[in-house]
Structure 1
Amino acid sequence: MTLRFRRRITIIMALVWTAVCGAVLSLAGVYLYLNPQIPSAETYRHVHLETPLRIFTADGSLMAEFGERRVIPITLAEVPPLFISAVLDTEDKRFYSHRGIDFISLLNDTLALLWKREITSGASTITMQLARNISFSLEQTFIRKFKEMLLALKIERELSKDEILELYLNVIPFGKRAYGVQAAAVTYYGKPLVELRLEQLAMLAGIPQAPSAGNPVNGPERALKRRNLVLGRMLNEGSITQEGYQSGIDAPITARVHRRELQLTAPYAAEWVRRELLASYGRSVYSAGYEAFTTIDAPMQRVATHALREGLLRYDRRHGYRGRQTHIELPSALQTPTTAPPIDGDATPSDGTQALSRDDAIASMTQFLAQFPESGGLEPALVLDVLPDAFTALRASGEEIEVPIEHVVWARQFVDVNTRGPAVLSVPDVVAPGNVVYVRLISEGWALAQLPEIQGALVAIDPQNGAVRALVGGFDFAANQYDHATQARRQPGSGFKPFVYSAALHHGVTPASIFLDAPLVFEDEALEDTYRPRNFGGKYNGPTRLREALYRSINLVSMRVLLEVGAGNVIDYVGRFGFPTDGFPRNTQLAIGGGTIGITPLQMATAYAVFANGGYRVEPNIITHVRSLEGEVILRARHPQVCKPCELEAIQASRSPAQPPDPLLDEPARMEDLFAELGDSSDPMGETNRMDDPGVDAETTAEQPAAELAPLIAERVLDERNAFIIHSMLRDVIRRGTGVRAARALGRLDIAGKTGTTNEADTWFNGYHKSLVATVWIGFSDNRPVGDTEFGSNLPLPVWIELMSRTLPSQFAPDREQPAGVLTLKIDPKTGRRAAPDQADAIFEYFFAEHSPPEEIIQPRLEGVTDTDSVRAIDIF
């Protein structure tokens, strides 16, 4: 070897050594620069899966899910081996042999970069992909690649291979908000991963490369190619047989988006819960995996939703058909001899759809129907053929249905809210081929329908603790998210009168007090004309007892009661029921629930709960407790609940030992005892709990979970005697007044309530049983009139009846005990005074002991009262 050659070798070795040292120093520099930017691998032992908020009913039925990501955790042991093979064969076949970096694949990527001038992702191991999806962005840069490699090496030292693979399978994105393979299986196939076939597993294994554009919904062609590539890799690695491979690539795409299967649909209630938790926990509530349990009774909620929707649809049918949604020309393949338009022999189709085959035409039309949303059980349909006694229509599912004339005859033309067109004699009077209409499935088959414009709300609460058992805020949440149950402030109409009358009892008026039902004229210099309020129908009854005025809902008596008590006193008094009184009017509109009064259905139900529970104020509530992802209870709600024994115990404990017992507390009298003292064992109000046809099959409401802490005791806001007498008057509304329809339909009298109608725009029924208070409101969101023939007694009341008939316990509630301090006396029904001992038409009435009528029989003083009283506006304050 010559000296010259040795020198060359030395120079080459020096250059190589310099290059190696330079590379090592460069890598060391890169490491020192990037290492501080790389998270600790130890954090990967405690990765938080962004699990959505889930909301449940009282019995644990899932009713809503909120979250930006759809995650369903799964353990590696639960993953089918075939899917693990699909992932490893496609993404990282040397996963169990490398240390986080696959240098063979890295060399291939480097050569591809040098020769083809492109960056590929073949060298990204599962560990590197895990690092990218948890800690880095998805942008393809060299810096990010180096970071992935360094972090992958750290992760491999911290976690086992199985731990890495399990974490990867739970966090990798699959598109359509699905993260993790279990969520992907449910999203695309509606079933857990273990139930999927080979071609479906291969489809999922191919999605992570391009989760948005390459999933089988957004990019079916690309997804199909990727699926077949996965199957090919599995065949090459010996994971499947040739027969399995061939069967897999021949299988069609069956993936579609499946929404999370809810066990109960209660979107308005769920939205209320979401808002409360968002206010308490911030946006982390969508990813922390919280489980919120509510007071909602699942069976009752289903009944409430159905009852309100049916009530709105009944109203809509009563007022006529507003016509089709739109009209299109049918493709020739779907036309029949009765529907095909006459054309010349040389005519050509007006557009491409006319020349389609029947199957293609159906597919085209079902796609067209997809733009019309389903709503509240109503779905769009395309009319194909019309006969005098029926029409045939195409559903969005591709099914053809027939609608007979008996389910079309309701569709007289809508003219205005009080007027309809002529009777429907044949189906062509209503629909024509090419019409897009709405239909609904009823027990007798398919029926023509239309989306109702009217809205409504139903809220049912437990009067003993304020727990919301059912809540419906409109016809369909998807179409209108405005919650009329908790957000709509409407005029309560006559439903507000019981609170005015309760104030009157508080100020010395009795149920037997006589008020003149006669015209009133209000004079005010600020008004251009006098104000003359009237009763409905323009009829007047003369002297009328307070009890009768309530169950007959006489407006002018309510106004005279307000004049006697004073608007200021009434406003101060009704605040105890939870009403927001700041905007209440200080005029006669207050007496009839009109003017500037604005009350939500939830507030009305809460106020009526005071009458139902005997005088206690409860707060409406919907959340019982919240659990963390680990199952720990992080919130347990406590709300005041009625506990009369607790109240009596506290009062008795506060007495001095020498203080004598209080008969008002210690010896509550029963009605039958008082009747016996009077020598009459009959019920003075006729308020028995049964009718001739008693009993309905019903479900009981779910019990709220017991709290670990001592319960909060509800505050008494109403004299028990006042609550008792108003309760008896509200029972008369059911027995003989505007709510008598409920007594007849339910066959029971252990219920009470009050109708309400305001300016033809708001209709209400507020009613209760000992165990349940329910308020129903129906009206238009824009305050349009509902019609001259629509009232609280025929629009919301049937909805309330359906709810109660299917949810109240079949056993009737016992009569409420008559409180001490309430007397039962015989009175003259005409004068309201005590009756003569031998008076044949005498009736019984309840009185506060201190407000009983005098012994002597005195005719009522009506002097100075004419047929029409003139009152100055100032007199009402």
Structure 2
Amino acid sequence: MKYVKPLVLFFFTSALIGIICVISLYFYIRPELPSVAILKDVRLQTPMKVYSQDGVLLSQFGVKRRIPLELKDIPKPLIQAVLATEDSRFYEHPGVDLIGVARAFVNLLTTGEKGQGASTITMQLARNFFLSREKAWMRKVKETFIAWHIEKLLSKDEILELYLNKIELGHRAFGVGAAAQVYFGKDIKDLTLAQMATIAGLPQAPSVLNPISNLSRSQQRRRIVLARMLDEGYISQAEFQQAAGEDIKARKHGAEIELSAPYLADMAYSEMITRYGREEAETGGFQVYLTVPSDLQRAAQQAVIRNLHDYDERHGYRGPIKRLWNAPAPVSDEVASDVAGPLTEEPPAAWSQQRMAEYLAEQASYHPLYPAIVTRVDEQSIQVFSQQGETLQIGWDGLAWARPFISDTVQGDEPKNAADIVSPGAHIWIRFNDELQQWQLSQFPDASGALVAMDPDNGAIRAIVGGYSFYQSQFNRATQAKRQVGSNIKPFVYSAALENGYTLASIINDAPINQLNQSSGTAWRPKNSPEVYDGPIRMRVALGKSKNVVSVRLLRGVGLDQLIQHLAKFGFNPHDLPRDESLALGSASLTPLEVATGFSIIANGGYAVRPYFIDRIEDERGEILWQAEPAVAPDPMTAQPEMTMSGQDEDGELVSSVPPSYAPSVISAPNAFLTREMMHTAIEGGGNWSKKTYWQGTGWRAKTLMNREDLAGKTGTTNDSKDTWFSGMGGGLVATTWVGFDDMSRSLGRTSRNQHLINRNPQKFNWMGNAMVGGEDGARVAQPAWIRFMSRALEGVPEQYPPVPEGIVTVRIDRSTGKLTQRTDHTSRFEYFIKGTEPQQYVDEEEFVDPFEQDLPQEQTEDIF
């Protein structure tokens, strides 16, 4: 007993001293300990996600990948794998596992190294939130005390949930939800046991144990995790064997983007940075919902891409990107030298598939374009090796378009066989043609394009495309490119004329203008395009045919200052408008978004809606932080917006609903209606073919291909066809398309006949303009994209005719003079007028002209081919 009492006393004294030391140490470092209270309302650094109006993920922004999950949403086997590997006694200890500490202490005594940290999940959470990974005694002490604090503040499930969402797991994946997506491209609930074990093994050393960076070490670590699960009784021996040998098929996956719309997503990203700052925008877990439906955005992107390929292909093939081996294709010396250098060099030997695969893996692709290498050339087909490692056959239908490009206005002869186009060893572009359902030779379009679609009633953007590929050029031509608008300005000029006493029946002289500048001695001679002059012409017909000289005469009738003031009502900055008569022909430079906004005012009855593209912003829990409240155009059937009663409150008092904020009226409803009527004529045309009164508007293709009666639109072409436009409306939607070169000095040129493109589909494709002959213009270059988009956007949408506003009357007029007539035949028509402006005189017999009885030349209309 004499030894027992001292021994008990020694242990008691040691324990007391230890407790005193721990308490003293705690109070010593307590001022340095962070408050763990923030964990009650912690905000994990979660990337911003951008969604379409219908909830389709468009993009994700942020360095850290994280998908926050509740514990109940995490598969039980994954939780078991983490617990078995990281902290098997998690639900038993108070934040510090004394058994684990003892084990680490013994390891230190036997090895002399701090090889085991004895960190529990709570301690790891403390380190991840508040401390560094440095292996130091003081850091471990702080970690212990913080862990005790955390255990007092949070439940075990709350701690585990935070840990599973916070832990770093390699390749910028934070939390098990993000790891499932990054390594396997799956939702966490779809993981196999082997994949869960792989993720559970990552926390120890995520940079070297992940299956992408080091597959063999990842497999070894997975086996350890599975063995621990087996020891803990979570899995059977059979499950262990199956999971340990499974091929988990790991590779790096991007965010689960359902629709890539980078121009649109970048607009949202820029707006969020403006609102919240870069760091908060990228880590605050914002969910940004846009006003753009995914189906309309997809249709817009496809329309722009297909339209640019159509333009590019009818102008010819510029040759392969590079020659990798073999003799050059039989093209001109000038083109050959640009592509591959001197023709006298000894060609290298053909490459193996492995070498081709390695080369193509390093090449960029721009959907729908993919790099490929020609491996064999037959009479009228070629064989290519694609970037995806496939051997593809491209037939003559995918090759025959490729006559040589000589210049923007000149194309070479049509090829007779495949050897006229490419040779083996050529690095080329290919794309899958959805309309032909086959692969074809292709090239990156030189021209650029843009499209904007809006809801004219509230300004909501419904689709926006800023170019062919955001990854090739981040310049958003829909919102940033100010280009001359050409004849797209004319409906606004005609609207100004209506404000100044003109009517749809006003007669203007369509005759050449010669204006001498006394100071310079030069003459300004604006011309029609084509140079056809009809003499006296009604204003409705003049806009439908896009008569340039009539637009100039209307400017003179209105006055330049008054016209600029009127154009400003449509949102056009007066400082962007040239102060000369070229303004009537579209010399002003505007963005497609500005143009579409202006046409929305015509479409909605005269109300200045403002474009917007973010509908709402939510936090990571789905709570709305901000909701758009756009000013809207009133219902045209309602004379005055009224407050309506929406029910009773708890006390039985009547409660009135707050009316929406209404956009200001900038032009009258009759003015907007009549302007739209003239734009409808630009698509519909008018008259009777058999009676020689028929004429076509410049936008006739929309009527031919879409067969809708509620369409209205306007083409636009600048001098030398450097910019081409089409803007139009129908079915409750307004859209503007633009095509031109980023190099503003370059013209869109001309094309000669390409029989192969004509033969593809003599009706539809040629009407769309891809096989036409002659100069490029808005109807042939920009309008096809508008038609493709609107055909898809308005599919199943009933026709929507604008109601005739109060103050509009109709009278029968003579087609030639615009005066009243009592005739009811082909020489007359009903016309709309603002009440009080209708003609008062009847046409005299001396003035009356019946085109059917006259020996008049047929009016020139634009060529189809």
Name the TM-score, length of structure 1 as normaliser: 0.81
After TM superposition, list the pairs within 5 Å mapping 1:386-425 onto structure 2.
386-425=377-416
CA contact (8 A) 1:438 1:448 kept: yes
2:202 aligned to 204, 207, 210, which one? 207
CA contact (8 A) 2:731 2:800 kept: no
- The CA distance in 1 between the partners of 2:643 and 2:507, in whole Å, is 39
Paired residue type of 1:786? L
Quote the residue 1:671 is aligned against.
none
Q: Is it true that 1:712 corresponds to 2:661 in the alignment?
A: yes
When residues 719 and 183 of structure 1 are mapped into structure 2, their CA distance, relative to the original with a 3 A threshold, is same
1:292 aligned to 285, 288, 291, which one? 288
After TM superposition, list the pairs within 5 Å mapping 1:595-744 onto structure 2.
597-644=588-635, 648-649=639-640, 709-736=658-685, 737-744=697-704
Superposed CA deviations along residues 133-157 of structure 1, whole A, max 9, x for unmatched, are 1222334443322221111122223
Quote the residue 2:524 is aligned against.
531
Where structure 2 has 5 or more consecutive residues not aligned to the other structure, the ranges are 327-346, 645-655, 686-696, 751-774, 848-865
Quote the residue 1:520 is aligned against.
513
1:769 aligned to 730, 733, 744, which one? 730
- The CA distance in 1 between the partners of 2:27 and 2:417, in whole Å, is 86
- The CA distance in 2 between the partners of 1:843 and 1:99, in whole Å, is 91
Q: Is it true that 1:750 corresponds to 2:710 in the alignment?
A: yes
Quote the residue 2:177 is aligned against.
182
- The CA distance in 1 between the partners of 2:657 and 2:451, in whole Å, is 31
Counterpart of 1:765 in 2: which secondary structure?
A: strand
CA apart distance, 1:469:
1.7
1:302 aligned to 292, 298, 302, which one? 298
Counterpart of 2:509 in 1: which secondary structure?
A: strand
Where structure 1 has 5 or more consecutive residues not aligned to the other structure, the ranges are 331-348, 355-360, 654-706, 861-877
Paired residue type of 1:448? L
CA contact (8 A) 1:517 1:557 kept: yes
Q: Is it true that 1:322 corresponds to 2:283 in the alignment?
A: no
When residues 562 and 13 of structure 1 are mapped into structure 2, their CA distance, relative to the original with a 3 A threshold, is same
Paired residue type of 2:709? L
CA apart distance, 1:471:
1.8
Quote the residue 1:62 is aligned against.
57
CA contact (8 A) 1:363 1:398 kept: no
Superposed CA deviations along residues 393-443 of structure 1, whole A, max 9, x for unmatched, are 222222221111221111122221122222122222222222222222234
Quote the residue 2:27 is aligned against.
32
Q: Is it true that 1:497 corresponds to 2:493 in the alignment?
A: no
Superposed CA deviations along residues 358-401 of structure 1, whole A, max 9, x for unmatched, are xxx54553343122233232222222222222222222222221
2:749 aligned to 787, 796, 800, which one? 787
CA apart distance, 1:110:
4.7
Paired residue type of 2:461? V
- The CA distance in 1 between the partners of 2:617 and 2:797, in whole Å, is 34
When residues 61 and 91 of structure 1 are mapped into structure 2, their CA distance, relative to the original with a 3 A threshold, is same
CA apart distance, 1:833:
4.2
When residues 133 and 327 of structure 1 are mapped into structure 2, their CA distance, relative to the original with a 3 A threshold, is farther
Quote the residue 2:448 is aligned against.
455
- The CA distance in 1 between the partners of 2:290 and 2:826, in whole Å, is 55
Counterpart of 1:634 in 2: which secondary structure?
A: strand
When residues 364 and 174 of structure 1 are mapped into structure 2, their CA distance, relative to the original with a 3 A threshold, is farther
When residues 453 and 225 of structure 1 are mapped into structure 2, their CA distance, relative to the original with a 3 A threshold, is farther
CA contact (8 A) 2:321 2:426 kept: yes
CA contact (8 A) 1:734 1:749 kept: no
After TM superposition, list the pairs within 5 Å mapping 1:550-589 onto structure 2.
550-589=543-582
When residues 163 and 639 of structure 1 are mapped into structure 2, their CA distance, relative to the original with a 3 A threshold, is closer
- The CA distance in 1 between the partners of 2:571 and 2:234, in whole Å, is 69
CA apart distance, 1:838:
9.6
When residues 118 and 763 of structure 1 are mapped into structure 2, their CA distance, relative to the original with a 3 A threshold, is farther
- The CA distance in 1 between the partners of 2:643 and 2:233, in whole Å, is 84
When residues 112 and 413 of structure 1 are mapped into structure 2, their CA distance, relative to the original with a 3 A threshold, is farther
Q: Is it true that 1:371 corresponds to 2:362 in the alignment?
A: yes
Quote the residue 1:674 is aligned against.
none
- The CA distance in 1 between the partners of 2:145 and 2:502, in whole Å, is 85
Paired residue type of 1:796? A
When residues 234 and 815 of structure 1 are mapped into structure 2, their CA distance, relative to the original with a 3 A threshold, is closer
1:169 aligned to 144, 164, 167, which one? 164
Paired residue type of 1:193? I
Quote the residue 1:867 is aligned against.
none
Which is worse superposed, 431-440 or 279-288? 279-288
CA contact (8 A) 1:750 1:812 kept: no
CA contact (8 A) 1:613 1:770 kept: no
CA apart distance, 1:839:
9.8
- The CA distance in 1 between the partners of 2:731 and 2:187, in whole Å, is 45
Quote the residue 1:72 is aligned against.
67
Name the TM-score, length of structure 2 as normaliser: 0.82
Paired residue type of 1:370? A
Paired residue type of 1:566? G
Count of aligned residue pairs for this structure pair: 774
CA apart distance, 1:792:
0.9
Paired residue type of 1:564? G
CA apart distance, 1:778:
1.3
When residues 246 and 857 of structure 1 are mapped into structure 2, their CA distance, relative to the original with a 3 A threshold, is closer
- The CA distance in 2 between the partners of 1:633 and 1:467, in whole Å, is 19
Quote the residue 2:653 is aligned against.
none
- The CA distance in 2 between the partners of 1:96 and 1:836, in whole Å, is 97
Counterpart of 1:307 in 2: which secondary structure?
A: helix
When residues 578 and 505 of structure 1 are mapped into structure 2, their CA distance, relative to the original with a 3 A threshold, is same
CA apart distance, 1:715:
2.1
CA apart distance, 1:769:
1.2
CA apart distance, 1:296:
1.5
Which is worse superposed, 236-245 or 771-780? 236-245
- The CA distance in 2 between the partners of 1:159 and 1:830, in whole Å, is 87
- The CA distance in 2 between the partners of 1:65 and 1:266, in whole Å, is 11
Quote the residue 1:478 is aligned against.
471
State percent identity of aligned pairs: 40
Alpha-carbon RMSD across the aligned residues, in angstroms, is 3.5
Counterpart of 1:440 in 2: which secondary structure?
A: strand
- The CA distance in 2 between the partners of 1:842 and 1:202, in whole Å, is 83
- The CA distance in 1 between the partners of 2:113 and 2:665, in whole Å, is 78
CA apart distance, 1:857:
5.7
When residues 444 and 80 of structure 1 are mapped into structure 2, their CA distance, relative to the original with a 3 A threshold, is closer
Which is worse superposed, 515-524 or 108-117? 108-117
CA contact (8 A) 2:454 2:461 kept: yes
When residues 96 and 812 of structure 1 are mapped into structure 2, their CA distance, relative to the original with a 3 A threshold, is closer
CA apart distance, 1:329:
4.7
Quote the residue 1:147 is aligned against.
142
Counterpart of 1:794 in 2: which secondary structure?
A: helix
When residues 836 and 194 of structure 1 are mapped into structure 2, their CA distance, relative to the original with a 3 A threshold, is closer
Superposed CA deviations along residues 490-531 of structure 1, whole A, max 9, x for unmatched, are 111101111011111111222333333333344446647443
Quote the residue 2:458 is aligned against.
465
CA apart distance, 1:115:
6.5
Which is worse superposed, 729-738 or 80-89? 80-89
